[in-house]
Chains A and B, each alone.
Chain A
Amino acid sequence: MNLVVSSPPHWHKNISVAKINAQLIIVLLPAFLYAIYTFGFHAARVISLAVVTTVLSELIIRKMFKKSTTIFDGSAVLIGLVFAMILPPSVPYWLVIIGAFLCIFIGKEIFGGLGSSPLNPVLVGWAITRISWPAYYNLDLASVNYDLGFSFRYPLILLKKGGVEFISDIKLIDLLLGKQVGGIGSIAILLLLIGGIYLLIRGIITWEIPLSFAAGVLSVAAFFWLIDSHQFANPLFHLLTGNLMLGIFFLSTDFASSPFNKWGMIIFGFGCGFLTMILRIWSIYPDGVFFAILIMNLFTPLLDNIKKRPRPTAIYYIDRRVT
């Protein structure tokens, strides 16, 4: 009789990497539909191009490296989706392909695939293309041919160029409902917020990074706002503009590039929020979310070294045979 033998435990929670990624993708879908509703065909073009490129490049690269096929765990699709969501709708097709390929190749595969990337793969592709071809990332120019009944000036560029007076007529509720210009998927603030909260409830991501990220942004913004509310914008304005919501829930919480222990996560998240505000206020870039996350990714190995004292577990049986 052949009995199955294995090392304990003999049960496993019915969860896998593919299931986690599937939930993340499902949560992103409403924002993706809103993007198609807002930007029409162009959004669908960019998203499908990005996803196809990431999946195909992962397939080919793994074949070339003589490794097992991993496209079915959904991480390539997720990277493609998130990458498309931070691009402007009018970006040319070759830039999407190059960016998506770099996400997979430099961001993920050369470090050994899923789980080994020191930086967020999406942001690696984004950073390279953003610095190489800055003109295509100009969000004001990107949406010049649209007329959807709301202001088509990128709020953060307005703030950077003109100060608080320029954004005084922007209502916070419009920002929340997605009536603003930005990346394809990053404008659906409310949908991303709902999705993020769903992920928190389901336990896919943990509360530490999103909460401390938001706390970092709000506290630094509030600090400057309280000093001079004529020169610096309302903290809530900062929270609801740009790519912040996408960054809080979907980019900074990337498993491989963020710390795994509680206090490391809290420091990481707060650092992201702090750097975001510093970059928004003083850097030449209107939105600092992605660079902040990339910089904090570099601190992850350091934060992983935070050592906890293990819980004491000494035992003294009065039973001789057990010990």
Chain B
Amino acid sequence: MKTNDHLTLSQEDIAIIDAPEPAEVLIPLIGFNSNQARLNLRVGNYLETGHEILPGLYSTVTGTIKSIDPLMMRDEEFSALRIELDEKEQLDPEIKAEPDFLKKDPAEILKSLNRANLGFRDNLEPLETMIISAVEQDPLSLVQQQIWRENKYLTLEGLSLIKYLTSARKVIFAIPQNLSELGTEIPGDVAEVFPVKPQYPNGLPEILIPDICRTGQVGKCGFMNVEKLTAAVVALKEGKPFVHKVVTVVEKNQKKNIRVRMGTLVKDICQKTGIDANDKLILGGPFRGYSGYHTIIPVGDDIDLIYIQDSSQVVLNENKSCISCGKCVRVCPVKLDVNLICRFSEFSMFEKCQELDVFDCIECGLCAYYCPSGRSLVQFIKLAKSELKKIQGETES
């Protein structure tokens, strides 16, 4: 990996291949406590694919619950269902296909989409602009644009579906600039094509939305990526729930795109080349991703990239003092005074951080990437945010 193209988003064409089914999966019970889970679930319960385990939580596999385990993920502790897969997959009978979806009531379509594990908001506010993005959010990942490349017709159908569903005045399809030839195939009455320069952080929704919308209308902009869009069309047309996730896996010197069952453990995906000691496992992009200290982490619908950083490439930075070069201020896409915020945060002057709009930070990580002193600027900002939230919680109660 050359240093100068760290920020360029991936542009290759790597076909998506289906990964073999895992022997068992973990389904984290995010948003539920373990008591709730124990009341509703028993070890040995049989679950069909798409079965509603708890309100809003759907099984992604067919199988039996083996145990309810604790799971450490993203620095939080959850309970998780360990499910052993059955050989034959069975769909939950409640999931129904609705092939002519453009004639149904939008509220009903939304209901059946949510039943198919797509997790939309229950009632969509009327939107000014709806943005569908095929731009990768992080460098290295290659999921959204690849799905669009391979499913052009589904995407088109999805665009008209989303226009009908959200009753947005404008539907905008954001694509990477290098694929603008493909973009000409999209008719103007379905969606407007918006080419984006394939460079981090242009693909992040926090940056993309203000780029597209006029000021003052940013709040009335919806955002969605191509993967969810195509999954919604498949769910409506074929009655298949959203249980497969495409992830880019970057290991040592190889890069592949695989379609895995949600809930598959990272351990099973990275079995072949393997992770050695002192490597770094990064879930999500190299700029915003979370690094796990074990590999028993299930793949959820929010991870586009599994990146195994070789021990020789792991960055070990010493947190030296700021030399006030101002590079962080220059590269910040939100135009914050990063150096001041981090100095105040370092010395626990969190109120000052709030005066400098620390909550506007989107944690893109560019400041820390460029910092010549190797300061962990994003960490200081996160510290300030969490301490401020604590202080605000205390004053409210």
Chain A residues with a Cβ under 8 A of chain B: 1-17, 19-20, 112-116, 206, 255-256, 259-261, 304, 307-322
Query: Which of B276, B314, B372 is the most central at the interface, judged by chain A CB atoms within 10 Å of its CB?
Result: B372
Q: How would you classify the secondary structure of chain A's contact residues: helix, strand, loop or mixed? A: loop
Contacts of A7 in B (CB 8 A): 376, 378-379, 382
Query: B246 near A: Cβ within 8 Å?
Result: no
Q: Which residue of chain A has its CB nearest to the CB of B309?
A: A10
Is the pair B291, A10 in contact by a Cβ cutoff of 8 Å?
Answer: yes
> Can you name 4 extra interface pairs (CB under 8 A) apart from A13-B369, A315-B205, A315-B209?
A9-B368, A13-B370, A314-B210, A317-B223
Q: Does chain A have a CB within 8 A of B281?
A: yes
What residues on B are CB-neighbors of A314 within 8 Å? 209-210, 218-219, 221
Interface residues on B, range: 35 or more
* Residues A4 and B279 in contact in the complex (CB < 8 Å), given A310-B335, A314-B218: yes
24 A-B residue pairings within 8 Å (CB atoms):
A3-B277, A3-B292, A3-B293, A4-B279, A4-B309, A4-B311, A9-B287, A10-B286, A11-B369, A13-B3, A14-B3, A20-B325, A113-B321, A115-B324, A206-B330, A255-B325, A256-B323, A260-B329, A313-B362, A315-B205, A317-B223, A321-B119, A321-B301, A321-B302
Q: For A259, what are the chain B residues with a Cβ–Cβ distance below 8 Å?
A: 326
List the B side residues contacting A261 at CB < 8 Å: 326, 329, 337
Residue of A at shortest CB range from B119? A321
Give 3 nearest A-B pairs by CB, closest first. Answer: A260-B326, A9-B365, A115-B323
State A5–B281 Cα separation when bound (angstroms).
8
Residues from chain A with Cβ under 8 Å of B320 in the complex: 17
| Complex contact B324–A260 (CB within 8 A) | yes
With the chains together, A319 CA to B124 CA distance in Å? Answer: 10
**B22: CB under 8 A from chain A?**
no
Cβ A11 vs Cβ B286 within 8 A = yes
Answer yes or no: B360 CB below 8 A from chain A CBs: yes
A9-B120 in contact (CB<8A): no
Provide the bound-state CA to CA distance between A260 and B279, in Å: 37
Mask: chain B, 282-305; 1 = CB below 8 Å from A; 0 = not: 101011111111110000011000
Which listed residue, B121, B317, B329, B366, touches A318 by the CB 8 Å rule? Answer: B121
Residues of A with C-beta under 8 A to B224: 317-319
Is B195 interfacial (CB-CB < 8 Å)? no
Contact check, B335 vs A8: say whether CB atoms are below 8 A apart.
no
Q: Which residues of B contact A15 (CB under 8 A)?
A: 370, 372
Min CB distance A182 to B, Å, is: 29
Q: Determine the residue in chain A with the shortest Cβ distance to B356.
A: A307
Point out which of A1, A112, A206, A255 has the most chain B C-beta atoms below 10 A from its C-beta: A1
A311 lies within 8 A of B228 (CB): no
With A1-B275, A313-B360 as known contacts, state yes or no: A16 contacts B372, CB within 8 Å. yes
Query: Complex formed: what's the CA distance from A113 to B369 in Å?
Result: 23
Q: Kindly identify which residue among A14, A16, A206, A318 contacts B124, using a CB–CB cutoff of 8 Å.
A: A318
Asked whether B360 lies within 8 Å of A17 as measured between CB atoms, the reply is: no
Find out whether the CB atom of B222 lies under 8 angstroms from the CB atom of A312: no
Partner of A313, one of B290, B315, B334, B369: B334
Q: Which residues of B contact A113 (CB under 8 A)?
A: 321
Q: Are A10 and B3 in contact (CB under 8 A)?
A: no
| Interchain CA distance A248-B112 in the complex, whole Å | 67
Across the interface, which residues of B come within 8 angstroms of A315, CB to CB? 205-206, 209, 221, 223
Docked CA distance A35–B323 (Å) = 30
What is the bound-complex CA distance between A40 and B279, given in angstroms?
55
Chain B hits for A12, CB < 8 A: 315, 317, 368-369, 371, 374
A14 contacts across to B, CB distance below 8 A: 3
Interface check B73, CB cutoff 8 A: no
Minimum C-beta distance from A2 to chain B (A): 5
CA distance A8 to B365 in the complex (A): 7
Q: With A and B bound together, what is the CA distance between A13 and B327 in angstroms?
A: 12
- List chain A residues, Cβ under 8 A from B366: 9
A312:B6 contact, CB within 8 angstroms: no
Cβ contact within 8 Å between A311 and B292: no
B36 within 8 A of A: no
CB contacts (< 8 Å) of B281 on chain A: these are 3
A304-B340, A311-B335 in contact; A10/B220 too (CB < 8 A)?
no
Closest to B317 in A: A12
B77 contacts partner chain A, Cβ-Cβ < 8 Å: no
Complex Cα gap A316–B130 (Å): 10
Min CB–CB distance A261 → chain B (angstroms): 6
B99-131: CB near A (< 8 Å → 1, else 0) gives 000000000000000000001111010010010
What is the CB-to-nearest-CB distance from B367 to chain A, in angstroms, rounded to a whole number? 9
Contact assessment for A5 and B293 in the assembled complex, using a CB-CB cutoff below 8 Å? yes
